[in-house]
Amino acid sequence: MIGNQTILGLDTSTDNCSVGLIKDGIVAAARSEIAKSAHSEKLIMFIREVLADTNTEIADLTAIGVNIGPGSFTGLRIGLSTAKGLAYPIGIPIIPVKSLPVLIQANDREENLIYFIKSHKDMVFYSLFTDHTADLPAVEIVYENIDEIVNQHPAGELIGNFDFVNNFGENNKVLFPTGQAVAEVVHNYYQELGKSIGQKIEPYYLTSFQAQKWVRNK
């Protein structure tokens, strides 16, 4: 955790285009809109608004946190390219954060839940979060069919960015990652998270293990 810092958080991993700003450990401003293709139209506008609302200049930022996935291919590219465009000219670090820790943070780190990001068809990336004291950046991300997850954890509550046509009743709560949660994770785990002021940071799509499962389940 860091103290007197200003963190801008960007999240375009799902249909939620979202920006948040933390100043001195406090959430100072946030914007979000859930809509198809909102990222290219709204992201820059939301950034300008949260900066204006808090009398903050780009040069005042300590770092920019960005959700690198898993998530929407196009959305992740927009978020990361925007972060690079803002951070590199002034030499501040970009802090990459993965989707599931961001989603857990957005749900106030509530434990004993299954957090997921929908991939395609009924496939999801998910984490079984059982301990609110756990280190969020170290949360394991697994790739599986939603039915298999329910079979393995029949009493589990699903928290994620999709409603599976009410297949699981009240056990499926729709929640999206947010830019505010990105900024909060960066603030809380600044020292543990990787930092980049170069060009190498890329979206997180699949590990080799997950890629093998992807091919096997097609």
What are 132-142's pLDDT values in tens digits?
999 999 999 99
Strands 63-69 and 94-98: parallel
* pLDDT tops 80 at residue 18: yes
For residue 197, list its beta bridge partners: none
CATH 3.30.420.40 fits domain 6-100+176-203 = yes
Least confident window among 8-12, 33-37, 42-46, 185-189: 33-37
Two tokens, residue 113: 């839940």
What does the pLDDT average to over 53-59? 96
Quote the pLDDT of residue 215: 42
Q: Give dist(CA 13, CA 205) in Å, integer.
A: 11
Q: Give dist(CA 184, CA 65) in Å, integer.
A: 9
**CATH class, range 106-174:** alpha beta
Block residue for tokens 């390219």: 81
Strands 142-145 and 94-98: unpaired
Where does CATH 3.30.420.40 sit in the chain?
6-100+176-203
What are 106-127's pLDDT values in tens digits?
999 999 999 999 998 889 999 9
CB within 8 A of 209, min separation 6: which ones? none
- Percentage above 90 pLDDT, the chain: 74
